[in-house]
Structure 1
Amino acid sequence: MDEYSLILSAQNGEKEAFQSLITFYYPYVSKFLLKMCNNTVLSEDLTQDTFLKLVQGIDKFDIYGKASFSTWVITIAKNCYLDHLRRNKQEMISIEEQNMASQFNLQDVVLNHLQADEILKALESLPPEQATAIRLKYIEQQTLEEIAQRFSCKPKTVKSRIHNGMVKLRKMLKGDFYHG
């Protein structure tokens, strides 16, 4: 059965159609939410919320509209994530306010800044493949797969470059401020 027929069947209340749609879209939604929130437990909860809202609101999907069903599903997932952030905003603010006074220390801020500058200078002395891989991973927050695509190599190669570069950085910085 094609997607169009599944959607129509689901809109008519057929449980098998819902199950087929959920089975097909579950990995897609789950990975999307995991990438959004970077938390496995939260992404699983949000994925469940997404499909609950999909089941409850399937009648609202316009099968003849401009948006595809996958776009509609991902929009529900994104809105579930945004709702979660809004619900937890007050809690996050109060935790930040409590910790602000105890964590804020100008000397620590300056020391951290100096350490970051020292690391960036040391990074320049690494071979370009290692330095770039480390920058992409830790500064630009890219995944090993994304970096591997950029280098046209395998993720294992990127992982090795990062590891070897980090070993060299530790040796260069040992004695300055690194205690590991």
Structure 2
Amino acid sequence: MEDNTLIKKCQQGDKEAFQVLISRYHPYVYKFLVKTTQNDQIAEDLTQETFLKVIRNIEKFDPAGQAKFSTYIISIAKNTGLDYFRKEKRTMQNVPISETFDIEDVNTRVADTVINKLDSQNILADLEGLPEEQRIAIKLKYIEGLSLKEIGEALHVEPKTIKSRIHNGIVKLRKKWGKGDDDERY
């Protein structure tokens, strides 16, 4: 069954449709939250909380709108995670991502060049030192593989803003690594 059909049924209170939707998206949300939190149990708890929010607010999602449901649900998961870190008086910047940076998933020229030239642990430490909005944009682009449009929808900003955040983050990393802002593109 197509997502939009499921969502419409969920909006009409169909519990079986909710079960199918949850089963379909649970692994996607859980994986995202594991990468974000670095803790399986916390990720599972936040996944549960994410789906409770989805169930409570399903009527707000427009299946005929431009946003994909996957973008909508990841946006809720991201906000749930941020709320958790605020409650714990931690920020996304303090969460180690060394386990989440899967080098094989990175498929851009800049990332490939950096990986070939530098030790990956230094990259991870430097990435953690970026401002939160740049680090999140880079993680969603290069680790999650989302497009600029999808990231913009998830973070509620224009794709050109996401592109700028990624560019500025990479420029900061290059300066830290002694690289100029040459013609290579990410």
TM range (shorter): 0.5 to 0.7
In structure 2, stretches of 5+ residues that fail to align are 92-114, 126-141, 143-186
- The structure that is helix-richer by fraction is 1
Per the alignment, residue 141 of structure 1 pairs with 124
Q: Aligned partners of 1:72, 1:13: CA distance in 2, in Å? A: 19
Q: Aligned partners of 2:56, 2:87: CA distance in 1, in Å? A: 21
Per the alignment, residue 18 of structure 2 pairs with 18
Q: Aligned partners of 2:13, 2:19: CA distance in 1, in Å? A: 11
Alignment of 1:61 onto 2:61: yes
Q: Deviations over 1:88-108 (max 9, x none)?
A: 11xx59xxxxxxxxxxxxxxx
1:33 is displaced (CA, Å) by 0.5
Query: Alignment partner of 1:70: what SS?
Result: helix
1:131 is displaced (CA, Å) by 8.3
CA RMSD of aligned residues (A): 2.4
Q: Deviations over 1:64-109 (max 9, x none)?
A: 22211100000000000011111111xx59xxxxxxxxxxxxxxxx
Q: Deviations over 1:112-156 (max 9, x none)?
A: xxxxxxxxxxxxxxxxx9985xx11x22239xxx9xxxxxxxxxx
Query: Alignment partner of 2:124: what SS?
Result: coil
Q: Aligned partners of 2:48, 2:86: CA distance in 1, in Å? A: 18
Per the alignment, residue 126 of structure 1 pairs with none
Q: Aligned partners of 2:123, 2:43: CA distance in 1, in Å? A: 22
TM-score, normalization by structure 2: 0.51
TM-score, normalization by structure 1: 0.52
Task: Work out which structure has the larger RCO, using CA pairs closer than 8 Å and 6 or more positions apart in sequence.
Answer: 2
Q: Which amino acid aligns with 2:16?
A: E
Q: Aligned partners of 2:124, 2:38: CA distance in 1, in Å? A: 12
Q: Which amino acid aligns with 1:139?
A: N
Q: Deviations over 1:13-41 (max 9, x none)?
A: 00110000000000000000111111111
Q: Which amino acid aligns with 1:8?
A: K
Q: Which amino acid aligns with 2:86?
A: R
Q: Aligned partners of 2:25, 2:14: CA distance in 1, in Å? A: 17
Q: Aligned partners of 1:29, 1:13: CA distance in 2, in Å? A: 22
Count of residues in correspondence between the two structures: 103
CA distance 1:69–1:130, change in 2 (3 Å): closer
Q: Aligned partners of 1:18, 1:4: CA distance in 2, in Å? A: 12
Per the alignment, residue 27 of structure 1 pairs with 27
Asked which structure has the greater CA Rg, the reply is: 1
Q: Aligned partners of 1:72, 1:130: CA distance in 2, in Å? A: 35
Q: Aligned partners of 1:139, 1:47: CA distance in 2, in Å? A: 31
Deviant stretches of 4+, over 3 Å:
129-132
